[in-house]
Structure 1
Amino acid sequence: MSQSLFSQSWYRVAALRPRLRRHAEIHRQSFRGEVWYVLQDHQTGRFHRLSPAANLILCMMDGRRTLQEVWEAAARRNEDDPPTQDDTIRLISQLHGSDLLQGDLPPDLAELAERSESTARRTLIARVKNPLALRFPLFDPDPLLDRLVPYFRPLFSVWGLAVWLAVVISGLVVAGLHAGELTGDVAGQMLSAQNVALMMCLYPVIKALHEAGHACAAKAWGGEVHEVGLMLLVLFPAPYVDASTSAAFPSKWQRMMVAAAGIFVELFLAGLAAIVWATAEPGLVRAAAFNVMVIGSVSTLLFNGNPLLRFDGYYIFADLIEIPNLGSRANRYVFYLIERYALKIEGAKSPVTADGERPWLFVYAVAAFIYRTTVSIAIASFIATQYFVFGVLLAGLALFGTVVSPLVKGLKFILTDPKLNRRRSRAVTLTSAATGAVLALLFVVPLPYTTMAQGVVWAPDDTQIRTKTDGILTTLLVEPGRDAQAGEALATLEDPSLDSRVAVLEAQLAELRLRYDAARLGDRVQAQILQEQIASTQEILRVYRERQAGLIVRASQAGRLIVPGAVDLPGRYLRRGERIGYVLTADDPVVRVVVPQTDVDLIRSRTQGVAARLAEKPEEVRAGSILREVPGAQQEIPSLALATQGGGTIAVDASNPQKPVALQSIFVFDVQLAGGLPFNVLGERVYIRFDHGAEPIAWRALRSLRQVFLSQFRV
């Protein structure tokens, strides 16, 4: 409220006799213990929030009283805080602009046509501003819902809630009992070509039932649903309904139930699907049930139930904390803080109307802006990988809506708004200083620049002890943990069939030599054949004797014998080339680090220092240096501990269960830590930080953007 009750422009409107149009309806609601009124426009579906004083003025505007008489009566009824004439002028201006008032003068048809075109333009612009969710209305379902109300109204009762709880809880129990089977290789199940096709068929059906839940809930409590349509959600068709009439319900629990009805439907379907999945045989029905579980539970809770997105969760959250128009008021509150405290505008009006709203509005404005911007860019980037031109266009529109448009509006406000007539120089100075500070922080101020990677404690290949032949390990000749000399026997293997084979070959060789001696003088052709057989048998015998000698495993170098699982080795059958253990010196263990292709250039060219933390001692930081780089990119991961299944960061190709293979090319570096590594940490995870000095944030972002374009779009 302004300090003066009177306005210099009052004479222009004082004699008017306005009244509300017939398509306007007022509803009484309560927010945070205070009474407010909601003006519903049945023609456009829009809602306007009114204070008790504004509602009183509207109620007295019957077409017979002049606006002067209405204002005087309202001032008498609110002597402690009477409405000013400026407030009254703003109120009727807003209502007139929304086509909710009519007066004693005949309607201006040209003005009505202009308003209709303006409304159509605003609707089109609102749709284009959100290109990731384009809407196309189809038909009016309200007459059909009127006929079906007696059938679905019992669902919104205590008995309906009991059935819903029984199914959802049963589904949760079934999912909990089969958690390992459900979560094992989720990526492989979800991303297979057959499953993607099945999910594309199921998704529209599930979302149609979701939207039907909203429509039925709104109708069950007396609302109207006049629009059903098709929405292109990230280019994927999905149905939608307009159940916004629930905003006029007096009970916040009814409004919340209408907003949550779609989520309730999907959770119910997910519970049924869990029961079907547990009882069905492997096949199409079981795969469909699995997809319904994922879509109806994880998907709906992460997106529809997220209050930071303008979906169901947003309206549930706004009604729960009793802050209507949470998103728009949160943005207005941030702008109010800038006007009031940065620009020192004394007349800045806060959108806060009740105690406790300030922290909610500020936190929500910041969190929603960051989250929506991130999601919009991520979705646009994903689409760009499939349709480059369209994806870049979507990214540009998202960037324009979230960054460029607010900046243009802010600049227009600074340069032209009348509120700054006597403070414009201060506003320009502050804006220039803030812009300069932000640009300096982004492009000039260097900040520490590091790359994080994971590795495992690794023993070089030449230190590993491997069997040279198949056999059963019978004895460890050197106790693990003791020093061994180069060439010293470490273990013995046993292969009875090998000894027998050597004996047979020796006997065959002796027989061939005797036959050769007998035929050498009498039959030269036969002697030549026997000579060739002798040479072949000698070669085979040599190979088998080498394998027989390989039954004794010897150390290739001097060092400490390390044998993981030594207690279980005696009596175990080992294949040729299988590792028994290691013979290590103090400098042998290194950290084998795996880095993705996006980071390899920085690590190669700009590494100024290396620091490491062992997983078992994260509080201890140890210095290191790059010892060597494995030349060229590779797909094979040195250890499963570095894959996502083992808690690492490298995504693995689920179609190859035999060995861990990365989905994208990786590069391997060996890092030597100062002071060496103890032998008992072989295979343990190590966190590595490569220090690249300092660099401003903007140049890092530009480098990352360039890498994205090179890797995803080849441009």
Structure 2
Amino acid sequence: MSHGLRVAPDALPPLRGELQLRPAAAHADGSPAWVIQDPVTNQFFRLGWLEFELLSRWHLRVPALVLQSTAAETLLEPTKEELEALTGFLKQHHLLEAHAPGHYKALHKQHLGSRMSRFKWALHHYLFFRVPLLQPAGFLRALLPWLAWVYRPTTGWLVLLTGVLGLLLTSRQWDSFTSAFAQSLSWDGALYYLLAMAVAKSVHELGHALTATRYGVRVAHMGVAFLVMWPMLYTDTTESWRLSRRRQRLAIASAGVIGELALAGAATLAWNLVADGPLRDALFFLATTAWIVSLTINLSPFMRFDGYFVLSDAVDVPNLHERATGMAKAAIRRGLLGLKEPDPEPFSPPMKRFLVVFAWITWLYRLVVFIGIAVAVYLFFFKVLGILLFVVEIWWFVMRPVIRETQHWFAQRKQVSCPRRWVLGAVLLTGAAVLLVPWQGQVKAAGWTLPEQFHVFHSPLPAQVLHLPEAGQRFQAGEPVLHLDQPELGHRGARAEAVASASQDALRSLQAQQEEMERVPLARSNVALRQQELQAELTERDRLVLNAPFTGTLVDLDPELIRGTWVSPRQPLAALVGEGGWIVEAFVQQADVERLSPNGEATFYPVHRPDQAIKGTVVEIARTRTTQLPHAMLAAPHGGPIAIHNPRRDEELSPRDALYRVKIRLDGDVLTAPTTGSVRMEGERRSLLGSWLKPALIVVIREFSF
């Protein structure tokens, strides 16, 4: 309650008749508490012992009588100022009847002051609004007896056993699980995740609603809330504040997460038990969605989701975010600026430390979340609108609170001592140097090693394998390695040979007849054409004999190849390793490739030995983006570091991001087999601010160019 409010009048205004006063859970210090429910606005106001005793005697109407009666009948000794503060609090929240002549005018003035401009109204409703869809109280009461078994201890133990067993089985095939997760990161996967999230959130909200109904709390409505145009289901359980037992409120707040985790555990166990197919894919999406949403979003106390209300009730600090923020601001002003800033309210030292640390973590968490939301808004809306909404997000959630706090610091600048000003100035200069000085020089990328003489054999067209060599076999340059065949090509060749032979016979026949000599030139042209067709067919057939481009050893022979197997042009059949040194092919992000130059220094760290640093030199930088990865070991579905498009189609290894190939020659001959790893290359130095601003300016120029 605020103490800077107007003095109570001679006769206390009466309380509104429809208000309801109910006992609530005791405060952390053991003192009793009560809750006032305003049924019109469905708001709840928590009161302490002093406020309850004063309101119990409010019918006396005379301030002096109220104070005297409270002091005489209780151990409390209320003051006039405390009664004035309570009166002001009741007025502020419209809990008093409006009988005084000036009261209506004050209400009208307050209404006008609270009216928002059209811009602020649109901004507020764009950022968050609710759409109630159902009034499910009757349905929930009818459904509850049918689901009473859900709340039995046996069910809880069974759910716990199911989840633990599912996680244990998943740990035994963790590679398969992570590979499936990497493959799901696509636009098709995003659609399936949205469907799975709809199922998981329905279970989540039903858990809140049923548990609230079980404890006699009315669920006013359920519907869809939009946070920055992102839809999410919600359940109105505001009236749970009427419950005096904290355990019941915690049960309602945590019921959604418990239901979602139960669904996750059951889906995880089922994923391990069913065979590959659509059902297993659906269970995977459901399990991962429920686990991720529950553990990273719903259980997080840093946003106003379930974890926040559970923690707020557990530590008995209603409005935890606002009160922790007030404590943290006061601590910063005292510690950083040396201001004599009092705490907004008294707390024990351990609780003070908890609230300050909690506020700091909340700020950092929200900074990451709000920036992510802003980026998502930019991506999902068209061009100019996406940029404008991105700016609105950053301004409202990030910049606006910082600027308001900075304004408070500036207003109190005269109270900051001179030594602190010097220290703050040095800190600001250091921060500016970190942002403006070009100290970032390294470019990091994923890559793989291969011999400098390395050739992967592919069939030039769909064909059958006629002859297979053995892995490890050595070949001389130009020697045949793989023999392939295509029956249709053989038929076309035989037909072309027959036609060429027939045309040659026809030419000889015409040459033997004197009267047909005028047709000889045309016949010769036909013979030449048929010979060209035959030669083209023979050349095409010769392409099916894959020769060694250099002397080397055959490796990576596909173990599934047998004689008669059909192969596609995209399918790698085997590789030939020459006798030269080793190189690295690194795949660099588009924003970093222009920072590199030939002859620059580079270091390769193999994935199996990250502590081994192998030096090298940049020898070639591609100027066009990579459309196809050279080997499956680089692709995420096969355990590699690079995400690809259409991960369910193994024959397509197209990188999802814009990557450019950079070739690096390693010093010495220190490797024995191709492997993946990370690469660090020396590039043009850039400042942090420059590395942020340049891509942003490129995006702005691109999006505003119609």
Q: Specify if TM > 0.5.
A: yes
Q: Choose the corresponding residue for 1:335, options 329, 334, 341.
A: 329
Q: Choose the corresponding residue for 1:641, options 624, 630, 633.
A: 633
Partner Cα separation in structure 2 for residue 545 and residue 392 of structure 1 = 56
Q: Which moved more, 1:109-118 or 1:371-380?
A: 109-118
Q: CA deviation at 1:255?
A: 1.4
Q: How has the CA–CA distance of structure 1 residues 282 and 492 changed in structure 2, closer, same or farther, with 3 Å as cutoff? A: closer
Q: CA deviation at 1:432?
A: 7.2
The answer to whether the Cα contact below 8 Å between 2:225 and 2:231 also exists between their aligned partners in 1 is yes
Which residue in 2 is equivalent to 1:690? 681
Which residue in 1 is equivalent to 2:93? 98
Partner Cα separation in structure 1 for residue 531 and residue 509 of structure 2 = 18
Which residue in 2 is equivalent to 1:619? 611
SS of 2:594's equivalent in the other structure is helix
Q: CA deviation at 1:354?
A: 4.0
Which residue in 2 is equivalent to 1:668? 661
The answer to whether the Cα contact below 8 Å between 2:35 and 2:45 also exists between their aligned partners in 1 is yes
Q: Which moved more, 1:160-169 or 1:438-447?
A: 160-169
Partner Cα separation in structure 2 for residue 433 and residue 13 of structure 1 = 48
- Which residue identity is paired with 2:682? D
Q: Choose the corresponding residue for 1:410, options 405, 410, 423.
A: 405
Q: Choose the corresponding residue for 1:370, options 364, 383, 395.
A: 364
Where does 1:46-85 land on structure 2 (aligned, <5 Å)? 46-53=43-50, 55=52, 58-59=55-56, 61-64=58-61, 66=63, 70=67
Which residue in 2 is equivalent to 1:455? 447
Q: CA deviation at 1:702?
A: 0.9
Q: Which runs of 5+ in 2 are unaligned?
A: none
SS of 1:690's equivalent in the other structure is strand
Partner Cα separation in structure 1 for residue 143 and residue 624 of structure 2 = 68
Q: How has the CA–CA distance of structure 1 residues 712 and 456 changed in structure 2, closer, same or farther, with 3 Å as cutoff? A: farther
Q: Choose the corresponding residue for 1:191, options 169, 176, 187.
A: 187
The answer to whether the Cα contact below 8 Å between 1:204 and 1:237 also exists between their aligned partners in 2 is no
- Which residue identity is paired with 1:241? T
Partner Cα separation in structure 1 for residue 543 and residue 229 of structure 2 = 68
Q: How has the CA–CA distance of structure 1 residues 602 and 132 changed in structure 2, closer, same or farther, with 3 Å as cutoff? A: farther
Q: How has the CA–CA distance of structure 1 residues 251 and 491 changed in structure 2, closer, same or farther, with 3 Å as cutoff? A: same
- Which residue identity is paired with 1:599? D
Which residue in 1 is equivalent to 2:21? 25
Q: How has the CA–CA distance of structure 1 residues 63 and 100 changed in structure 2, closer, same or farther, with 3 Å as cutoff? A: farther
The answer to whether the Cα contact below 8 Å between 1:464 and 1:583 also exists between their aligned partners in 2 is no
Partner Cα separation in structure 2 for residue 314 and residue 33 of structure 1 = 21
Which residue in 1 is equivalent to 2:104? 109
Which residue in 2 is equivalent to 1:134? 129
Which residue in 1 is equivalent to 2:342? 348
Q: CA deviation at 1:106?
A: 7.2
Partner Cα separation in structure 2 for residue 390 and residue 103 of structure 1 = 46
Which residue in 1 is equivalent to 2:35? 39
- Which residue identity is paired with 2:255? A
Q: How has the CA–CA distance of structure 1 residues 207 and 600 changed in structure 2, closer, same or farther, with 3 Å as cutoff? A: same
Which residue in 2 is equivalent to 1:360? 354
Matching of residue 591 in structure 1 with residue 588 in structure 2: no
Where does 1:126-525 land on structure 2 (aligned, <5 Å)? 128-129=123-124, 131-136=126-131, 141=135, 145=137, 149=141, 151-152=143-144, 155=147, 159=151, 162-163=154-155, 184=180, 191-192=187-188, 196=191, 207=201, 210-266=204-260, 298-346=292-340, 348-349=342-343, 351=345, 353-354=347-348, 356-385=350-379, 386-414=381-409, 420=412, 423=415, 429=421, 433=425, 436-437=428-429, 440-441=432-433, 443-460=435-452
Q: How has the CA–CA distance of structure 1 residues 460 and 342 changed in structure 2, closer, same or farther, with 3 Å as cutoff? A: closer
The answer to whether the Cα contact below 8 Å between 2:186 and 2:645 also exists between their aligned partners in 1 is no
Q: CA deviation at 1:628?
A: 0.8
Q: CA deviation at 1:635?
A: 1.3
SS of 1:618's equivalent in the other structure is coil
The answer to whether the Cα contact below 8 Å between 1:217 and 1:258 also exists between their aligned partners in 2 is yes
Deviations 1:339-369 (A, max 9, x none): 3223334451155624543443233323322
Partner Cα separation in structure 2 for residue 635 and residue 261 of structure 1 = 48
- Which residue identity is paired with 2:306? D
Q: CA deviation at 1:593?
A: 1.0
Q: How has the CA–CA distance of structure 1 residues 392 and 576 changed in structure 2, closer, same or farther, with 3 Å as cutoff? A: closer
Q: How has the CA–CA distance of structure 1 residues 409 and 648 changed in structure 2, closer, same or farther, with 3 Å as cutoff? A: same
Q: How has the CA–CA distance of structure 1 residues 380 and 448 changed in structure 2, closer, same or farther, with 3 Å as cutoff? A: closer
Partner Cα separation in structure 2 for residue 243 and residue 350 of structure 1 = 29
- Which residue identity is paired with 2:36? Q
In percent, how many aligned pairs have the same letter? 19
Q: CA deviation at 1:243?
A: 1.3
SS of 2:60's equivalent in the other structure is coil
- Which residue identity is paired with 1:673? L
Partner Cα separation in structure 2 for residue 236 and residue 576 of structure 1 = 44
Q: CA deviation at 1:592?
A: 0.6
Q: CA deviation at 1:135?
A: 2.0
The answer to whether the Cα contact below 8 Å between 1:467 and 1:580 also exists between their aligned partners in 2 is no
Partner Cα separation in structure 2 for residue 244 and residue 280 of structure 1 = 44
Q: How has the CA–CA distance of structure 1 residues 412 and 14 changed in structure 2, closer, same or farther, with 3 Å as cutoff? A: farther
Equivalenced residue count is 683
Q: How has the CA–CA distance of structure 1 residues 62 and 576 changed in structure 2, closer, same or farther, with 3 Å as cutoff? A: closer
Deviations 1:180-237 (A, max 9, x none): 59973775697339x84x8878876875664454344333323344455542344355
Deviations 1:28-83 (A, max 9, x none): 3245564463533424333444555555555555535625963896699779xx87
Q: CA deviation at 1:452?
A: 1.3
Which residue in 2 is equivalent to 1:628? 620
- Which residue identity is paired with 2:611? E
Q: How has the CA–CA distance of structure 1 residues 600 and 10 changed in structure 2, closer, same or farther, with 3 Å as cutoff? A: closer
Q: CA deviation at 1:454?
A: 0.6
Q: Which runs of 5+ in 1 are unaligned?
A: 2-6
Partner Cα separation in structure 1 for residue 276 and residue 609 of structure 2 = 47
Partner Cα separation in structure 2 for residue 464 and residue 687 of structure 1 = 23
Matching of residue 610 in structure 1 with residue 602 in structure 2: yes
Partner Cα separation in structure 1 for residue 622 and residue 305 of structure 2 = 49
Deviations 1:412-434 (A, max 9, x none): 43455xxx597267799589738
Q: CA deviation at 1:307?
A: 2.6
Partner Cα separation in structure 2 for residue 413 and residue 568 of structure 1 = 72
Q: How has the CA–CA distance of structure 1 residues 247 and 670 changed in structure 2, closer, same or farther, with 3 Å as cutoff? A: same
Partner Cα separation in structure 1 for residue 548 and residue 223 of structure 2 = 76
Q: CA deviation at 1:651?
A: 3.1
Partner Cα separation in structure 2 for residue 546 and residue 69 of structure 1 = 107
Q: How has the CA–CA distance of structure 1 residues 599 and 85 changed in structure 2, closer, same or farther, with 3 Å as cutoff? A: farther
Partner Cα separation in structure 2 for residue 407 and residue 160 of structure 1 = 49
Partner Cα separation in structure 2 for residue 125 and residue 170 of structure 1 = 49
- Which residue identity is paired with 2:621? E
Partner Cα separation in structure 1 for residue 11 and residue 314 of structure 2 = 41
The answer to whether the Cα contact below 8 Å between 1:473 and 1:569 also exists between their aligned partners in 2 is no
Matching of residue 700 in structure 1 with residue 695 in structure 2: no
The answer to whether the Cα contact below 8 Å between 1:269 and 1:293 also exists between their aligned partners in 2 is yes
The answer to whether the Cα contact below 8 Å between 2:590 and 2:659 also exists between their aligned partners in 1 is yes
Q: CA deviation at 1:282?
A: 7.4
Q: Say what the alpha-carbon RMSD is for the aligned residues.
A: 5.8
Which residue in 2 is equivalent to 1:4? none
